Amino acid sequence: MIYKILTHPNKELRKKSQKVLVAEICTPEKQKFLINMSKTMITKDGIGLAAPQIGVLKRIITIAYKDKVLVLINPILTKKSWLKEVEEEGCLSVPGVYGLVKRHHKLFVTAYNEQGKKVEFEAKGLLARIIQHEVDHLDGVLFIDKVIKITQGVMPETQ
């Protein structure tokens, strides 16, 4: 099943998502959801997707990375580098708009994977950028809130 992606200015995109109970990750219902969420991201040509973008206010993100799908549940970002980088970003929830956003170059991620196992790793560059963009969604933040300069499309109203 492919979910419908909510687009700005849908109010759901501005809400804070709740943590997932780790014991629930392996339930058939959650497993099905994680598969469908991954399929939705791939079908829509996204390199990342956060559950609130499909109207589910849970702290779950999926990332397309090196031909694989990375599922991160309840992600926490620490050890954010002092060094930041400016690169272009877009978002499935803000179609047609691209812009430059400053993000930490490197950070440390703690999360649970789709098997309910705790994972910890360092991410840098593009992967770190995608993770920061998706975790922002979990807190109701969109890239257009942080954009330095629009490179394609028109800046939408953010209120």
Candidate list 87, 88, 89, 134, residue with the active-site label: 134
Residue placing its CB nearer to Zn ion in the complex, 39 or 116:
39
CB of 131 to Zn ion, least distance (A): 12
122 is catalytic: no
Residue placing its CB nearer to Zn ion in the complex, 70 or 91:
91
CB of 32 to Zn ion, least distance (A): 23
- Shortest CA distance to 129 belongs to which of 71, 51, 48, 60? 48
Could you tell me if 138 and 93 are in contact, meaning their C-beta atoms sit under 8 angstroms apart? no
Number of residues forming the site for Zn ion (CB under 5 A) = 1
Residues 71-130 binding Zn ion (CB under 5 A) are 91
> What count of Cα atoms within 13 Å lies in the side-chain half-sphere of residue 40?
24
- Shortest CA distance to 58 belongs to which of 92, 107, 94, 24? 24
Phi and psi of 75, rounded to 5°? -65, 140
Give the residues lining the site for Zn ion (CB under 5 A).
91
Q: Which residues are catalytic?
A: 134
